[in-house]
Amino acid sequence: MKHNKFHIGYELITGYIYRITIFMLTLSGFAQMPIFKRYYIADMPGLGWLSKFYVTLYLHYLFGIIFLVFTACIITDFFLTLRKKYKITASGYIRVAILAGLTASGIILVIKNFAGYYYAPVFIVVMNLIHLGLVFIFLITGFTCIILKKNWMRDWTTL
Amino acid sequence: MKKNISRRLFLKGGAAAACTLAASSISSAASKADMHEQIATLIDISKCIGCEACVEACCEVNSEKYPKPQKPFPKMYPKRVPVADWSDKQDVTNRLTPYNWLFIQSATVEKDGEEIELTIPRRCMHCVNPPCVKLCPWGAAKQLENGISRIDSDICLGGSKCKAVCPWKIPERQTGVGIYLDILPSLAGNGVMYKCDRCYDRIAAGKVPACIEACPENVQTIGTKNEIIKQAHKLARETNGYIYGEKENGGTNTIYVSPVPFKELNKAIEKGKGKPHFKPVKNVMAAASNLGTAMLIAPVAGAIAAAGKFYSMVKAEKGDASNET
């Protein structure tokens, strides 16, 4: 019983962290483009920070850190305990693949921002477009899964 | 000022011979610069006479790269989007514009109780870790392995983020030109950003930047970053001078040596749009670099946390089992 309560609490907390992190990553990510000031969004009370490029960059990095800690924790947890009880669903695999692409392209772009790191200019353009494109794909997939009530994982016993 | 004008006329007459001599001595230094090593420029402010030979040479050599906007400009939405049009003011040379990537700033300052006038060539500083390049959301701004940062006018959308994040606000926008015209001209983009590209094509061909070649006074010296830093310190020691650009924004590839402190110089120069300052500049990319490092080690922390949770669960289960027995 204790074990079940722990798991329900764990899933709730991880669920909230995940949603907040994805929301903030998306918002601060879009703020890397000069659009929020142009389209008056940064003029709305409390949203002025969206037009400050360094603030949104630091936030994007900060939530990137939280996302990576969270993701590594979930992956490790899955291999140590969860896989005995749960199976990743097809929609789960699709979302994992998109997130893996987003993470990989994001890490490449973070490394590019260190002093002394050079990539071919075309490669950087492609990485930027892949990163942006995957965000759109992830948002569409995510909302579709919410509407269709598709879970990431499924209990082995229900199969 | 009088002295400057008369000297300018004199120098323009003999410029050809002086430039040949200057170019030959500088190109040997530049040729030493390996394409994979950052190259830097030393600007000895005390030598500059404000003749604007560098400005003219820059315009002449780079005119092919200047914007050729299509008019009328597409109507942009929302209305607040500013139109930046310099096409009818191409002869403006007293500030940075899309058609003028280098200008001469002047300052009247006091040195040893005497009033002196200094003239200073100003252009992009070519930062070691340039925020304009690193934070461009499209990759239109790029840094070459030799440290030159340049904006690719073929893919720049003119969003001006490079200018917003530049500590000196160097890049300048021209509306009505660039790839945005072929995408969503009314809704996204606003032209192309322009700034000094350090004559990257000339350097690639083994030449020196036009401004350096044209200078009759050898105000600028080009070479590898290490060489230039050493020369700047030697010059500063010999002349009791002051250095700017070595530490600013974590280091730049444009090192100024001035006979007066840059604090004084900054007070005396005219600052504003297209007219950069000489203030101290902290490394604007430092916090991002620290966060980036933390990001690379973040997965390890997550894995350790999960392993810790697993260990405590196993331990608790073992404890429960031994209690039951």
CA distance linking residue B155 with residue B141, whole number of Å: 9
Instruction: Compare CB distances from A38 to B81, B291, B313 and report the shortest one's residue.
Output: B81
pLDDT band at A157 (very low <50, low <70, confident <90, very high): low
CA distance linking residue B228 with residue B241, whole number of Å: 15
Chain B residues with beta carbon closer than 8 angstroms to that of A61: 288, 291-292, 294-295
pLDDT band at B10 (very low <50, low <70, confident <90, very high): very low
Same structural domain, B312 and B225: no
DSSP assignment of B228-265, as one string?
Answer: HHHHHHHHHHHHT-EEESSSGGG-BSEEEEESS-HHHH
**What is the total count of domains within chain B?**
2
Residue A97, Cβ neighbours under 10 Å: how many?
Answer: 14
Beta-carbon separation of B288 and A58 below 8 A = yes
Residues of A with CB under 8 A from a CB of B: 32-35, 38-40, 53-54, 57-58, 61-62, 64-66, 68-77, 80-81, 107, 110-116, 118, 121, 124-125, 127-128
CATH number of the structural domain spanning residue B235: 3.30.70.20
Beta-carbon separation of A61 and B292 below 8 A = yes
pLDDT band at A158 (very low <50, low <70, confident <90, very high): low
What type of residue sits at position B262? F
pLDDT at B2: 37
Instruction: Compare CB distances from A128 to B139, B292, B303 and report the shortest one's residue.
Output: B139
Q: Are B177 and B69 in contact (CB under 8 A)?
A: yes
Same structural domain, B175 and B316: no
Residue B9 scores a pLDDT above 70: no
Distance from CA of A148 to the nearest CA of B (A): 30
Q: pLDDT, tens digit, for every residue of B223-260?
A: 999 999 999 999 999 999 999 999 999 999 999 999 99
pLDDT at A159: 54
Instruction: Compare CB distances from A72 to B137, B155, B303 and report the shortest one's residue.
Output: B303
Which of A45-54, B19-28, B312-321: highest mean pLDDT?
A45-54
Beta-carbon separation of A80 and B145 below 8 A = no
Span B193-220, mean pLDDT? 96
Residue A123, Cβ neighbours under 10 Å: how many?
Answer: 13
Residue A10 scores a pLDDT above 90: no
Q: pLDDT, tens digit, for every residue of B69-105?
A: 989 999 988 888 889 999 999 999 999 999 999 999 9
pLDDT band at B129 (very low <50, low <70, confident <90, very high): very high
pLDDT at B197: 97
The range of the structural domain enclosing residue B226 comes to: 2-284
pLDDT at B322: 72
Q: pLDDT, tens digit, for every residue of B153-182?
A: 999 999 999 999 999 999 999 999 999 999
ipTM of the complex: 0.86
pLDDT at B25: 40
Q: Report the residue of chain A nearest B165, measured CA to CA.
A: A53
Mean pLDDT of chain A: 89
pLDDT band at B315 (very low <50, low <70, confident <90, very high): confident
pLDDT band at B35 (very low <50, low <70, confident <90, very high): low
Same structural domain, B120 and B266: yes
Same structural domain, B321 and B258: no
Same structural domain, B10 and B81: yes
Same structural domain, B227 and B309: no
pLDDT at B94: 95
Q: Are B162 and B132 in contact (CB under 8 A)?
A: yes
CA distance linking residue B40 with residue B245, whole number of Å: 10
Same structural domain, B204 and B325: no
Question: Which residues contact residue B139 at a Cβ distance below 8 angstroms, ignoring those fewer than 6 apart?
Answer: A121, A124, A125, A127, A128, B155
pLDDT at A6: 64
Mean pLDDT of chain B: 88
Which stretch of A130-144, B12-26, B229-243 has the lowest confidence by average pLDDT? B12-26
